[in-house]
Structure formats: structure tokens, C-alpha cells
């Protein structure tokens, strides 16, 4: 009996020592793990280990972009009408109106670039190897609202990409100086070498992009695709999602390109003159070179590097560009037409079967006022919850739920003076998803999914 008792006590002590030993080992490993410094190499290597996850969490906590105020962006993005209404009411309170950051304030903060990038929370490293190995070029045409430009740059910035900024010659000197100050803080962001005085609906808008395209081709960055933006754009996909979408194109381009409506033909059938504005003359133009059929589209495109190269060397492309310089709003047909020219890299045949509307192309998501309505009755999209400018929706918070379910890379238009909450929620959403690869909520809640938004306006 005594021997058996001694054996039990012995095994009991051994068991206790074993438990304490395991606990001590666990605590030692945990403390060692917690004391490790995060190496950027661990973040971008696709190892999938615990250290990588821990480092990403640490960097996210430093670089997250939480929206201001009491609003719940996760609820707004899920389409929660009560949260949207509450925040829309907040927009109506004068004391809560957005105050823009001025040109002078940007000039001051960019005096120390390290402080600027730290305060504005730029992500200065690639988040994964796939992104690192697939650089993208951006042509950014801007003319005012320095804060909106800088927030757009921050949203799309990645160190492996390259960014050309075309600043309108008409812009105030303070804006030009602030834009140059911002770009000077980055090795891969620069102001275009040739600047245009951009006149609405004139060739100068296309030339601004061409100037950037030419500069970007001279860059040491071997970018794969080019996307062009303006100051009222904002991304609705992370850089990782954009890379995946571009890789899936497999060398093709993506843009709106359709048979034009009859009323638009006057835009290229007559010669136009422009100085401070554009004026139609009574002089009729000849047909486009080689009788190339004209297609209607958008100023905003997703095109391969080879497509961009061809604009400066392909004889048919160069002839069409020269012919279009005295037409009205050539930005809304020149790219769409080049996309259908045989021999242009990534082209689509001119047969109507290959027509692509703005809904099907991935370049830009736009809500046209005349097409808004009840989707249950066949409208392509719900009513705008912001306001309208030139018959285009300037988005409000109530548009985010619908917007983020679309396949487009960017959306247009945004304006912080109309609804800064919408932009803030997008910033919070995109930054979180960039680091974690998923939305702030793993699943969309399906409440109010396709309910009309008219009651919110």
C-alpha cells in the first residue's frame, strides 16, 4: 500500500513538472516571438507563417486610416439604411462641413518628406510578391483641390508603381507648387515634363495624357499596364485586386467602346477651334484616315504597355491622333476608336459583337443621371445619394454598398465638399482590405440590398 502511494505521488510530481515545463516553454516562445522586430522582407515574402501575419497586423495598426466621427463605415458599406441616414443628416449640419486642407498647408508639411509620409500614412513597402512583380503606371490629370489629389495618390500609391502627374497650366501657382512639393517626396512620382492648358472638350485633355504616357515610357520602372485618372476619381479596389484584374486581361485592354449615337457625329464631322473655349466652325472635316469607323467611349482607360508604345510608332494610330486634334471632345472617342483598329496591341475587332459599354469595361464606374432608378424595374443602377454634376453622380455614402459589389477598378465622381464621409469610408475599407485581404466584415449583410435609395436624398 505504502509503495503504491509513493508511486502515485511520484507520477503526480512528474505530471505537475511536465505541465509547468510546457507552460514555461510556451511563455518563453511567446515572449521571444513578441520581441521580434518585424522585417519588411517577412511581410512581402509569401511564406504564410505566423511571423508574417504578426508583422502585417503591426504595420496595419500603424498605417490604418480610420474614418472620423461616430459613423460606422462597416454598416454603411453593408447598406444599413439607418446608419446611412444618420450620417447623411450629419452632412447637413453646417459646423460639421468638411474644411479642405490648403495649398499652403501642404507646402508646409512637405518641407520634411519623412514627416509628411509618416503623418499621411503612406504604405512605403510592397504588401506581397505578386504586387511587387507587377508594377502599374498611372497618368493623373489634375487642376484643383490639392487635398483630393493627395488622398487619391495615397489610396493608389505603392513603391513598385510609377505615377505621372499632369498639372493644368491654368491652375493657381499655389496649387502647382503644392503638387510639385508632394511629388518631390517620392522617387516614383513626378510632374509631367510638358504641361497643357486644359480646355474642356478640347484636344488638350487627350494631350495631357499623351504627355504623361511619353514620360512614363521613359521611366526605369518596367510597368505592365497604364491607368489614367483625374482629381474626382477614387479607387474601389486595392492594389492587389487591381493587379489580379490586370493579369486576367492577359495583354488585352479594357475600356468603353461602342457604336456612337447619331447626335455625337457632329463632334468629328466639323472643324473646331479652341483657345479659352472650344467653338465649332462651318468647315466640314474629311473622313478619318483609311475610313476608320469612329467608336464612342470614355476618357478613362486600362491599357497595356504595348498599346501605349503603339500610339507613338503605329502609322494608323499616329494618323488618327493627328486627324482628331481639331474635333470636339476627342477624349470620348479617340481611345475607343483606337481600341478597334486592327494592329493596335490588345485591340478588339470592329464588329458590333465586340462592343463594350462602361458597365462591362473595368476602367471606371459612373452613374449617369438619366439611367438611375429602381434596379427591380430594369435600371442599371440605383439613384445617386450625393448630387449631380454635368449629369454624373457625385457619390454619397448610400452609393458605397452598390459600388463595392461592382468589378470596376475606379469610380467617378467624388467630392469631399459633397460627401467626405463616403471618401473616408472608402479609405478605411481599402486600407483594411489591403493588409488583411478581406472586408472589415467577412460577409455582406443582405438587408436593404436592392431597396431604392430615393428616400435618402
Angstrom distances, CA of residue 23 to CA of 240, 402, 413: 40, 50, 57
Query: Closest by alpha carbon to 337, among 316, 313, 309?
Result: 316
- Give the three cell numbers for residue 123: 504604405
Is residue 130 annotated as a catalytic residue, yes or no? no
Q: Please, are residues 271 and 284 in contact by the beta-carbon 8 Å criterion?
A: yes
| Dist. CA 212–CA 192, nearest whole Å | 6
Q: Please, are residues 424 and 346 in contact by the beta-carbon 8 Å criterion?
A: no
Contacts of 133 (CB under 8 A, 6+ apart): 160
Phi, psi of 60 (to 5 degrees): -60, -45
Contacts of 435 (CB under 8 A, 6+ apart): 56, 57, 59, 60, 63, 127
| Dist. CA 434–CA 123, nearest whole Å | 10
- Give the three cell numbers for residue 217: 515610357
Q: Please, are residues 42 and 51 in contact by the beta-carbon 8 Å criterion?
A: yes
Lookup result for grid cell 483609311: 290
Please report, for the chain, how many H helices and E strands are present, in that order.
18, 14
Buried b / exposed e over 221-251, threshold 16 CB at 10 Å, is eebbbbbbbbbbbbbbbbbbbbbebbeebee
For residue 346, is it left (φ>0), alpha (ψ between -120 and 50) or beta? left
Q: Which of 332, 372, 427, 428 is catalytic?
A: 332
| Dist. CA 239–CA 34, nearest whole Å | 29
SS3 189: strand
DSSP one-letter string for 263-317 = GGTHHHHEEEEESSSEEEEEEEPPPPGGGPPP-EE-S--EEEHHHHHHHHH-HHH
Paired sense of beta strands 233-235 and 278-284, if any: unpaired
Maximum separation of any 2 CA atoms in the chain, in Å: 119
Active centre residues (catalytic): 332
Amino acid at each position: 500500500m505504502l509503495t503504491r502511494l509513493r508511486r502515485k505521488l511520484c507520477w503526480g510530481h512528474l505530471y505537475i513538472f511536465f505541465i509547468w515545463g510546457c507552460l514555461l516553454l510556451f511563455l518563453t516562445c511567446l515572449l521571444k516571438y513578441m520581441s521580434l522586430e518585424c522585417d519588411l522582407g517577412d511581410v512581402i515574402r509569401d511564406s504564410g507563417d505566423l511571423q508574417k501575419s504578426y508583422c502585417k497586423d503591426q504595420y496595419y495598426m500603424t498605417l490604418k486610416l480610420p474614418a472620423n466621427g461616430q459613423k460606422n463605415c462597416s454598416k454603411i458599406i453593408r447598406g444599413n439604411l439607418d446608419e446611412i441616414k444618420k450620417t447623411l443628416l450629419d452632412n447637413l449640419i453646417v459646423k460639421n462641413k468638411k474644411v479642405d486642407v490648403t495649398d499652403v498647408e501642404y507646402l508646409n508639411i512637405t518641407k520634411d518628406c519623412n514627416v509628411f509620409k509618416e503623418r499621411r500614412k503612406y504604405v512605403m513597402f510592397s504588401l506581397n510578391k505578386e504586387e511587387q512583380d507587377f508594377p502599374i503606371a498611372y497618368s493623373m490629370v489634375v487642376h484643383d483641390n490639392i487635398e483630393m489629389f493627395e488622398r487619391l495618390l495615397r489610396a493608389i500609391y505603392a513603391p513598385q508603381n510609377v505615377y505621372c502627374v499632369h498639372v493644368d497650366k491654368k491652375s493657381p501657382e499655389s496649387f502647382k507648387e503644392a503638387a510639385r512639393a508632394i511629388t518631390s517626396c517620392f522617387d516614383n512620382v513626378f510632374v509631367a515634363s510638358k504641361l497643357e492648358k486644359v480646355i474642356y472638350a478640347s484636344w488638350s485633355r487627350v494631350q495631357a495624357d499623351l504627355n504623361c504616357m511619353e514620360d512614363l515610357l521613359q521611366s526605369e520602372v518596367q510597368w505592365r499596364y497604364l491607368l489614367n485618372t483625374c482629381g474626382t476619381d477614387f479607387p474601389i479596389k486595392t492594389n492587389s485586386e487591381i493587379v489580379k484584374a490586370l493579369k486576367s486581361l492577359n495583354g488585352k485592354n479594357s475600356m468603353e467602346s461602342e457604336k456612337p449615337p447619331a447626335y455625337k457625329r457632329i463632334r468629328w464631322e466639323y472643324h473646331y477651334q479652341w483657345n479659352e473655349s472650344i467653338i465649332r466652325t462651318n468647315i466640314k472635316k474629311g473622313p478619318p484616315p483609311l475610313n476608320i469607323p469612329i467608336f464612342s467611349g470614355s476618357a478613362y482607360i486600362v491599357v497595356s504597355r504595348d498599346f501605349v508604345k503603339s500610339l507613338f510608332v503605329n502609322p494608323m494610330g499616329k494618323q488618327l491622333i493627328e486627324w482628331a486634334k481639331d474635333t470636339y471632345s476627342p477624349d470620348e472617342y479617340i481611345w475607343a476608336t483606337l481600341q478597334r483598329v486592327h494592329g493596335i496591341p490588345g485591340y478588339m475587332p470592329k464588329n458590333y459583337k465586340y462592343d463594350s459599354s462602361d458597365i462591362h469595361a473595368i476602367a471606371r464606374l459612373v452613374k449617369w443621371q438619366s439611367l438611375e432608378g429602381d434596379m427591380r424595374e430594369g435600371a442599371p443602377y440605383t439613384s445617386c445619394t450625393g448630387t449631380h454634376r454635368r449629369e454624373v453622380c457625385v457619390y454619397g455614402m448610400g452609393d458605397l454598398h452598390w459600388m463595392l459589389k461592382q468589378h470596376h477598378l475606379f469610380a467617378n465622381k467624388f467630392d469631399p465638399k459633397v460627401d467626405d464621409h463616403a471618401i473616408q469610408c472608402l479609405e478605411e475599407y481599402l486600407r483594411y482590405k489591403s493588409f488583411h485581404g478581406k472586408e472589415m466584415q467577412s460577409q455582406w449583410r443582405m438587408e436593404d440590398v436592392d431597396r431604392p435609395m430615393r428616400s435618402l436624398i
